[in-house]
Structure 1
C-alpha cells in the first residue's frame, strides 16, 4: 500500500514541485482546520433556530458580503499580492481574537444577537478566505500543474477538515468557545507563514510568461469583479454553476438543520452531531480526491468532473425525495464530499487559464456575493414553497432538477480563449 502511494506521487509530482505541494497542502490543512474548529459552533445556532429562520442569517451574511466586496476590490487594486493576501488572513485572525470578550459577555449581549453576528462572521470567513486560497493556488501553479496537483492539495484541506472538528470535540469542554477561537487564530497565523513561503517558491519557479506575479498590483476598479462577471459569458456560466450547486447545498443544509434540531435537544449534542457529520464527509472527500478526481481531471479534464458532480447530486436528492427522513444524513455526506472533492478542484482549475484580475476579483465575487445571494434566495424560496403547501418530497424533486441542470451547464464549461481583462 505504501509503495503504491509512493509510485502514485512519483508519477504525479515533479521533483521541483514536491516542497511547494507539501506547503500548499499544509496551508490548506491549517486553513480548514481553523475553520472547522469553529464551524460546529455556528451549526448549532442553525439547528436551534430551524430552517424557517435561516433566511434571516443569510440575509445578514449577504448584506455583509456586499459591503465587503468593494473593500476587497479596493485592496486588490492597490496592494501587491504578496501584501494583500497575508493582510486578509491577519484581519480574520484579529477578528477571531476579538470574539473572545464577546463570548465572555454573552449573557449581556444575548445569545440570539451574538449567534447572528457569529454566524455571519464564520460564513464570510469560510467563503472569502477559502476563495482567496484557491485564487492564490491558481496564481502559483499553471494549468497543467493545477490538474495534477489541485486534487492532492485538496487532500490537505480534507485532512484539516477532519482535524478541526476532532479538536473541537476534544477541546470544547476543556477550553470552551474562547479557547477554540485562540486555537483557530494560531492556525491562521501559520497560514500567513505558508503564504510567504509559497511566494518565495513562485519567484524561483515562475509561470511561463508571467514572472514576479507577487510583485504586480492587479489594478482595475473596486467593482471590477462584478462588472467582469456580468460581461463575460464564461464567468456568467461559472456564476450559474455556482448558483445551481448552492441550490442543492442550501436545500440539504436547511433540512439537515431541522433534523439536527429535532433529534438533539442540547447545544453539546448538536455540536457533536455536526462534528461527526463533518468527519464522515471529509473522509469521503479524501477518497474522491485521491482515487477519482485526479484521474478525471488529468484524463478527461474539468468538464467531466463538473458533470459527474451534478449527476451525483441529482441521484442522492432523488433518493431523499423517495425515502425522506434520515436519508438526509447520507445526502449531506455524499453531496458535500462531491462538492468539495470533485466540483471545487474542477471549477478552480478553470481559473488557471484566465488573467489575474479574473482570478482574484471575479472569482471572489462569484465565490462570495453570488454564493450568498444563492443562500438567501434558496432559503426564502423554500419558505415560500412551504407556504404554498409544497411537500418535502416536492422540494427535493425541484432540487434534483437543479442537480441535472448543474451537470448540463458543467458540460458546457470552457475557459475563455483569451484573457478577459488586463492582468
Structure 2
C-alpha cells in the first residue's frame, strides 16, 4: 500500500493538469484494457501456483515502475494528456495484479468468522502503508521531484513481495493444496457475474459506491486545473487528500469497523458507508454553490466529500467486502472478485466522468450533480441490504451467534 500510495498522487497530478474533460478518455482506455486483461489474468490464475503468480506479478510491476522514471522526467515535453492515458492504464493494471491480488490471497488463507476478526486488522496495516506513502511523498516531492518517487515505490513493492512469498510458503507447509493452480475457465469471472446473485450485487455496489468518489474526483480535477498550475503543487494537493482520507480510514479501523463487523456482520459496514455518502452528498447539494466549490475548513467542500467517502470506503467497506468473499469458492475469489474490482470498477469511472462532462457542458452545477449522487447513495443502501440475503451471506447471523 505504501508503494501504491506513492504513485497515486503522481497519477492524479496528471488528471489535475488536464481537467475533468479528459477523464472519460483516461477511463475508457482503462476499461478497454481491463476487459482485455481479464482472460489473461484468468489464464495465469488457472495455470500457475499461487507463489509463482505473486512473484511474477510483483516483479513485473517493479520493473515497470523503473521504466516510467525517464518519461516522467520529461513530462512537459511528452504532455500530461498523453502520459496520463498511458499511466492511468498502467496504474489500473497495477491495481489488478498487486492490490486486488493481495486481497484475494488474504481471502484464500482466512475464512468465516476469523476473516471478520482479522481483516480490519490487516486493512489497518494496509492503511498504515497508505498513510506512510503520502507522508513519504510529502517529504520527498519538493526535494527530489516527481519522477524519483517511482524508484521509492519500486523499493517498497520489492519489500512487500518478500513478505508475501514468506506467508505463501508458510501456508503451503500447512496445506499444500491451497497453493495449487485453481484451474477452470479463463472467463470464469465474467460467467459467474451473470449466474451468482452475490457477485451481481457486489458489482452493483462497486458501480454505485465508486460513482460517489469518481464524481468528487472529476470535479476536483477542474478545481486543480484552475487553481494549481504547477505539477509539484498538484502532486502535493492530491497527496494531502490521500493522507487525510487514509487517516480517517485508520481511525475507523481502530474504533468502529472491527466492532461493527463482529457484532452486526460485514453487511452492516456496507450499509453504514452508503448512508455516510448520502449525508456528505446532501451537504454538497445544500451548501455547494453552482460553479467553484465552497471552501470549508480551508479546503474545497468537494475535497471533504472525497476524503469522507474514500475514508469510509477503505476504512469500512473494503475489509467488509473482502471478508464476504471468503464465503465463495477459490475460483470466484480470484477471478470474479478481480473482474469486479477492475473492469466493472473502471466501467463505472467511465460512465460517471462522461456524465460529469456532459452535464458540465449543459451548464449543470455542482449542487445538482450532488443531488443526483444522493439518489445513487440511497440505491446503494438498498443494494447493501440485498447482499445480506444472498445464500453465501445469509448464514452469517448464525455464525455470529455461535461465536
The residue aligned with 2:326 is 352
**Does 2:377 align with 1:403?**
yes
The residue aligned with 1:85 is 54
Residues 13 and 231, structure 2, Cα contact 8 Å, conserved in 1: yes
Give the distance between the partners of 2:174 and 2:47, measured in 1 at CA.
25
Q: Please give the residue correspondences for 1:2-13 in structure 2 after superposition, counting only pairs within 5 Å.
A: none
**Does 2:156 align with 1:187?**
yes
Q: What are the Cα deviations for residues 317-367 of structure 1, in whole angstroms up to 9, with x where unaligned?
A: 100111112211211111100011111111111111111000000000000
The residue aligned with 1:160 is 129
The residue aligned with 2:232 is 268
**Does 2:205 align with 1:241?**
yes
Q: Please give the residue correspondences for 1:264-413 in structure 2 after superposition, counting only pairs within 5 Å.
A: 264-324=228-288, 325=293, 326-413=300-387
**Does 2:70 align with 1:70?**
no
| Aligned-pair CA distance for 1:81 | 1.2
Residues 226 and 365, structure 1, Cα contact 8 Å, conserved in 2: yes
What residue ranges of structure 2 are gaps of 5+ in the alignment? 294-299, 394-403
The residue aligned with 2:112 is 143
Give the distance between the partners of 1:51 and 1:127, measured in 2 at CA.
24
What residue ranges of structure 1 are gaps of 5+ in the alignment? 1-31
Q: What are the Cα deviations for residues 206-249 of structure 1, in whole angstroms up to 9, with x where unaligned?
A: 5xxxx6301x2111111111111111111111101111011111
Q: What are the Cα deviations for residues 273-301 of structure 1, in whole angstroms up to 9, with x where unaligned?
A: 11112111111110111111101110110
Q: What are the Cα deviations for residues 48-83 of structure 1, in whole angstroms up to 9, with x where unaligned?
A: 111122101111111121121111111111111121
Q: Please give the residue correspondences for 1:178-257 in structure 2 after superposition, counting only pairs within 5 Å.
A: 178-206=147-175, 212-214=177-179, 216-257=180-221
Give the distance between the partners of 2:33 and 2:340, measured in 1 at CA.
15
**3-state secondary structure, aligned to 1:178:** coil
Give the distance between the partners of 1:178 and 1:167, measured in 2 at CA.
14
**Distance 1:86-1:224 versus aligned 2 partners, 3 A rule:** same
**3-state secondary structure, aligned to 1:221:** coil
Give the distance between the partners of 1:102 and 1:267, measured in 2 at CA.
14
**Does 2:30 align with 1:61?**
yes
**3-state secondary structure, aligned to 1:222:** coil
Superposition TM-score, scaled by structure 2 size = 0.90
**3-state secondary structure, aligned to 1:412:** helix
Greater shift after overlay, 365-374 or 39-48?
Answer: 39-48
Residues 128 and 368, structure 1, Cα contact 8 Å, conserved in 2: no
Q: What are the Cα deviations for residues 375-422 of structure 1, in whole angstroms up to 9, with x where unaligned?
A: 001111122233444332111111111111111111111385469xxx
| Aligned-pair CA distance for 1:121 | 1.4
Residues 303 and 412, structure 1, Cα contact 8 Å, conserved in 2: no
Greater shift after overlay, 60-69 or 108-117?
Answer: 108-117
Give the distance between the partners of 2:54 and 2:351, measured in 1 at CA.
30
Residues 351 and 415, structure 1, Cα contact 8 Å, conserved in 2: no
| Aligned-pair CA distance for 1:203 | 3.4
**Distance 1:389-1:418 versus aligned 2 partners, 3 A rule:** closer
Residues 317 and 396, structure 1, Cα contact 8 Å, conserved in 2: yes
Give the distance between the partners of 1:128 and 1:334, measured in 2 at CA.
27
**3-state secondary structure, aligned to 1:193:** helix
Give the distance between the partners of 2:141 and 2:212, measured in 1 at CA.
31
**Does 2:140 align with 1:171?**
yes
**Distance 1:418-1:239 versus aligned 2 partners, 3 A rule:** closer
**Distance 1:76-1:390 versus aligned 2 partners, 3 A rule:** same
The alignment's C-alpha RMSD in Å is 1.8
The residue aligned with 2:12 is 43
**3-state secondary structure, aligned to 1:337:** helix
| Aligned-pair CA distance for 1:102 | 2.7
Give the distance between the partners of 1:130 and 1:414, measured in 2 at CA.
25
| Aligned-pair CA distance for 1:111 | 4.0
The residue aligned with 1:118 is 87
